[in-house]
Structure 1
C-alpha cells in the first residue's frame, strides 16, 4: 500500500539518523581514543544497520520457506524490506545502548578531572611567575593528574587502562622533582636543554594530548 510504504520510509529515515546519533554519542563517551575519530561512529552505525538488514533478509527467507512463496521479491518488497531492516537495526542498537554500552558514570568524573588537569597545565605554560612561586600550582596539577588516573583505572578498555598507567608514570616522575625541573617539564614555553628533561616534557605533552582527545576537550 502506497501510504504504508510512505510512512515506513519516513520511519526508516528517522531511525537511520537515530542509529548514527546514538553511535556518535556512545563513541564520545568512551575511553577508547579510536572511537573519538570522525569516521568510526558512522562505521558503527553501518554495522548495526547491516545486522538489521541481515535479520530482515533471514526472516524473508524463512517466510518463503514456510509458505512456499517465490524467492523473487518485487522492487516495492525490496524497498519495504530495506526500511524494515533499518528500523530493526535501530532496535538492536537501542537495546545495546540501553543495557550494554551506556556511558559509565565514571566518564563524567573523568571529564571534570581532566578539565582541571588541562587548565592547570595551560596556566603553567602561560604564567611568567618564577618556579618558586608556583608550588601550589604544581600541586594542583599533580592532584588533577591523580584524579584523572584514578578514574581511568576503572576503564574496561585497553586504551583507558594504558593511559592510566602513563598518567601515573608522568605523575610519579613529576612529584620527585624540584620546582625548577617541574617548570621545565610542565610549565615553561622554552624547551629544556637536558635531553632527559626534554623526554619527560614530550611524554607529559603526549599524555595530555591523549586525554584531550577522549575527554572531548579538543
Structure 2
C-alpha cells in the first residue's frame, strides 16, 4: 500500500538519523581518540545499518526458499526491504548501546579534571607573574593532571591507558623541578633554549592536546 510505504520511508529516515546520533553519543563518551573524529560515528552507524539490510535480505531469501515464491522482487518490494533493513539496523545498534556499550563511569569526572588541566596550563602561558609567585598555580596543574591520570587508569581502551601513562610521566618530571624550570616547560610562551627542557615542553603540550581531543574540549 502506498500509505504504508510512505510511513515506512519516514520511519527509515528517522531511525537512520537516530543510528548516527546513538553512534555519535557513544563515541563522545569514549577514551579512544579515533572515535572522537567526525567520520567514525557515521561509519559505525552505516555498519549497523548494513547488518540490518543483510538480515532483511537473508529473511527474504528464506521466505522464497520456504514458500517457493518468485525470486525477482518488484521495485516496491526492494524499497520496502531497504527501509525495513534500516529499522533492523537501528534496533541492533540500540540494543548494543543500551546493554553492551559501557561508557566509563568516571567520564564526566575526567571532563572536569581535564578542563582544570587546560585552564591551569592556559593561565601559566599567559601570566606575567614571576615563577616564584606561581607555586599555587603549578600545584593546581599537577593536582588536575593527577586526577586526570587516575581516571584514565580505569580506561578499557589502549588509547586511554597509554595516555594515563604519558600524563603520569609528564607529571613526575614536572613535580621534581624548581619553579623556573616548571615555568619554561608549562608556562612561558617562548620556547626554552635548553634542548632537554624543549623536549619536556613538547611532551607536555602533546599530552594536553590528546586530553583535549578525548575530553571534547577542541
Q: Separation in 2 of the partners of 1:157 and 1:16?
A: 27
Q: Which position in structure 1 is the counterpart of 2:217?
A: 217
1:193-212 map, 5 Å = 193-212=193-212
Q: Which position in structure 1 is the counterpart of 2:84?
A: 84
| TM-superposition CA deviations, 1:172-191 (whole Å, max 9, x none) | 00000000000000000111
Q: Which position in structure 1 is the counterpart of 2:184?
A: 184
Q: Which position in structure 2 is the counterpart of 1:105?
A: 105
The 10-residue stretch of structure 1 (96-105 or 13-22) with the greater mean CA deviation from structure 2: 96-105
Structure 1 unaligned residues grouped into runs of 5+: none
Cα distance, 1:9 vs structure 2? 0.5
Q: Which position in structure 2 is the counterpart of 1:135?
A: 135
> Is it true that 1:44 corresponds to 2:39 in the alignment?
no
Cα distance, 1:103 vs structure 2? 2.4
Cα distance, 1:70 vs structure 2? 1.4
Q: Separation in 2 of the partners of 1:210 and 1:164?
A: 11
Please, what is the CA RMSD of the aligned residues? Answer: 0.7
Q: Matched residue pairs, number?
A: 218
Cα distance, 1:100 vs structure 2? 1.5
Q: Which position in structure 2 is the counterpart of 1:155?
A: 155
> Is it true that 1:72 corresponds to 2:72 in the alignment?
yes
TM-score using structure 1 length: 0.99
TM-score using structure 2 length: 0.99
Q: Secondary structure at the match of 1:105?
A: coil
Q: Separation in 2 of the partners of 1:111 and 1:100?
A: 23
Cα distance, 1:71 vs structure 2? 1.4
Q: Which position in structure 2 is the counterpart of 1:35?
A: 35
Cα distance, 1:102 vs structure 2? 4.2
Q: Which position in structure 2 is the counterpart of 1:20?
A: 20
Q: Which position in structure 2 is the counterpart of 1:124?
A: 124
